[in-house]
Structure formats: structure tokens, C-alpha cells
Amino acid sequence: MDSREWSERYLQEVRKYLPWQRQDDIVAELRANLDAQREEREAELGRPLTEGEMIDWLKELGPPLEMAGRYQPPRHLIGPTIFPLYWHILRLVAIWATVGYAISIVVRIIVESHSPEWIGAQVIEFPSILITIAAWITGVFAVLEFISERYPDKCPDFAAPASRWSPASLPPLDKQVPAGTKPRNLMALSAELVVRFAVLVWLLLIPQHPFLLLGPGAAYVKSGPVVLLPVILWFYWSVVVLNAVEFLWQGYNILADKWRQKNTLQHLATEVFGLLPIAILVAAPAQAYLAANPSATHAMPSGLSIAELNHYMFTGFVVVGVIKIVQFAWDIWKARMGERNSLRAVLLP
């Protein structure tokens, strides 16, 4: 690994703990300063810095958490020594709380039987649970800060892990965003997450409140000439699960600071999951989606039969399925081309 890659790995790690609005600016400035310093050292030595020299130099700079912590605005509750650790733990707990909560809801849905309103209520309740957890963590750290300020000899040394930090533990560089690709924007991704959440809640409320999907036509469905067969319910739940997975995945990416570039594997996995609802429809028994409604008060429009309707629907689903498969194949091809270009960019900088 060359000396530049070492400093890039260091900067990549510093970036994760910087205030997000100023990340790019601060990292660009740090990069300019570190590069100038590294080049001067190399010019003095007449050779590139060795791996050992780079490790020693990065150790002098201090752990990325500590470097980034100095850029945080002054805080009265939790000071700069403890703040990076606090922030790190807060993020980890937020991720695991989200995962744990999601799993517990899914398990309760499977084991007990709950209405969509109950699921919606659990989802809506989650932000308040997160806030409570964050308040507890903040409280614990505020107490630690108080104790470490006043009784430093009786308190664990929070700076000790910093002295044991080694640049060798820096994670490898993320893949570069291909040239010409628009960089991702945290605000846009967060807005997208909020929309995903709203869509999920909307989906969950549809079974009890069909007017959310059909509008005034919902009243007609009850007394209409056809009823939906169970395969449509399977389709519905697969769409709910797909949306829930995408919501959790995106939430995880934002909280774990993995949002800067599109994760190709995640994207392709979502595409595969995306095929599932349409596959359920295409594989429906006897390709039937609608049946006659025994309590119908309205007759079918003349010249139209349920069998014909089912046939048209099946044809439509097959067409959608084919489009999804072609789209999936296109995405795989693009991903492979992207991999090839990234590799080329690394080999021929």
C-alpha cells in the first residue's frame, strides 16, 4: 500500500465522525495539509515514505475519532474527550435498536396475529423509543463527563484507547464514485427514507382502509361483482415486506455512514426481492386473481367475464415480469461494467 493510500484511509475514517454539513470541506483541507506535509517529508528523504513511517506519522496525528472530535462545536454536556466515544456508541445503539425492534415486530406478527393498525402504531411509536434510548445514553455519558472532570483519578481513562490506536486498524478505502456519477446527498437520502416510511405506513393501513388505495371506489368493491383471491393477499404482504426491507436497509446505510455510494450488491438484492411479488402473481394457481362475489349487488359489465379479466391480468403481470427481468439483467451488466471501471481507476490512477 502506498503512502497516499494510507492518508486516504485515515481521512476516510476521520470523515465518518465529522459534522456532516462540513465533511467535504474539512476533509479537503486536511487532505491538502497532509499531502503537503507528506510530500515535503518524501522530498527531504528523496524517496516515498515506507509503510512503517506512514504508520508512525498517522499515529502522531492521533486516532481519527479524536481528530474529528476537535471539529465538533463546543458542548457543555459532553466534552471533546468523551464526545467521539459517545457519538460512536449512540450510532451503534441506534442501528442495533432499529434492527432489534424490526425483528421483534416481525416475530410478533408471525407468532401473534395483529392488525395492520397495530403494525402502523408500532412503526409510528419507534421514533419515540429511539429518542428515549438516546436520552438515556446521553444521560449516562453526561454523568461520566461530570465524574471524569471532577474525579479523574477515580474514573476510567477515556484517552487510554487513543494511545493504543494503530493506523493498521484503519478500514480499506471504499470504492470510488465513478467519474460523471452524481454524488449522493444525505438530505435527499433522508427525505427518501421519510417517504419510504410514509409509504410503508400507507401500505399497512390499506387492508382496513381500502379507500386509501381505491378512493370512493372502495365502497363499490364490497358489493361489486368480483372478490380478490388469496394470491392478491400474498402479493400485498410481499410488497409490504419488500418495502420494509428497503426502509431498514436505507436507514442502516444512513446510520452506519455507508450512504455515500450506492451499494451494488444491496441494489441487486433489492431487485431480486423486487421480482418476488410479480413472481407470486405469475405463479398464481390457475392464473386466477378474481372470483365471483356471492353477495354482489352489481353485475359484471356486459361482454366481460371473470375468466377474461383473470386472463388480462395474467398477461399484464407477465409483461411486467419480463420488464423487471430485463431491467435486472441491465443492472447486472451495468454493475459489471462499473466494477471493471473501478478496477481500471485503481490500476491506472
Whose Cβ is closer to another protein: residue 39's or residue 271's? 39
Which of 76, 153, 169, 171 touches another protein by CB under 8 A? 153
User: By C-beta, is 127 or 152 nearer to another protein?
Assistant: 152
Query: Nearest approach, Cβ of 28 to another protein (angstroms)?
Result: 7
Which grid coordinates are listed for 187? 438530505
First-last CA distance in the chain:
14
Q: Build a one-symbol-per-residue string for 42-81: x at contacts with another protein by CB under 8 A, - elsewhere.
A: -------------------xx---xx--xx----------
Least distance from another protein to the Cβ atom of residue 232, Å = 58
Closer to another protein by CB, 26 or 203: give it.
26
Choosing from 76, 150, 164, 182, the residue that interacts with another protein (CB under 8 A) is: 150
Q: In the range 329-348, which residues lie near another protein by CB under 8 A?
A: none
Under rule CB under 8 A, residue 37 binds another protein: yes
Which residues, 156 to 185, sit near another protein by CB under 8 A? none
The region of 32-40, 209-217, 266-274, 296-304 touching another protein under the rule CB under 8 A is 32-40
- The footprint of another protein on residues 11-30 (CB under 8 A) is 26, 28-30
CB 40 → another protein: shortest distance, Å? 8
Kindly report the three-state secondary structure assignment for every residue of the chain: CCHHHHHHHHHHHHHHCCCHHHHHHHHHHHHHHHHHHHHHHHHHHCCCCCHHHHHHHHHHHCCHHHHHHCCCCCCCCCCCCCHHHHHHHHHHHHHHHHHHHHHHHHHHHHHCCCCHHHHHHHHHHHHHHHHHHHHHHHHHHHHHHHHHHHCHHHCCCCCHHHHCCCHHHCCCCCCCCCCCCCCCCHHHHHHHHHHHHHHHHHHHHCCCCCHHHHCCHHHHHHHCCEEECHHHHHHHHHHHHHHHHHHHHHHHHHHCCCCCCCCHHHHHHHHHHHHHHHHHHHCCHHHCCEEECCCCCCCCCCCCCHHHHHHHHHHHHHHHHHHHHHHHHHHHHHHHHHHHHHHHHHHCC
Give the one residue of 151, 160, 187, 299 binding another protein; rule: CB under 8 A: 151
Binding residue for another protein, selected from 2, 20, 33, 233, defined by CB under 8 A: 33
Q: Which of 4, 12, 27, 35 binds another protein (CB under 8 A)?
A: 35
Residue 159: CB minimum distance to another protein, A? 11
Residue 203 near residue 239 (C-beta atoms within 8 A): yes
Only one of the segments 5-13, 149-157, 221-229, 321-329 lies at the binding site for another protein (rule: CB under 8 A); that segment is 149-157
Query: In whole angstroms, how close is the CB of 145 to another protein at the nearest point?
Result: 15
Footprint on this chain of another protein (rule: CB under 8 A): 26, 28-30, 32-37, 61-62, 66-67, 70-71, 150-153
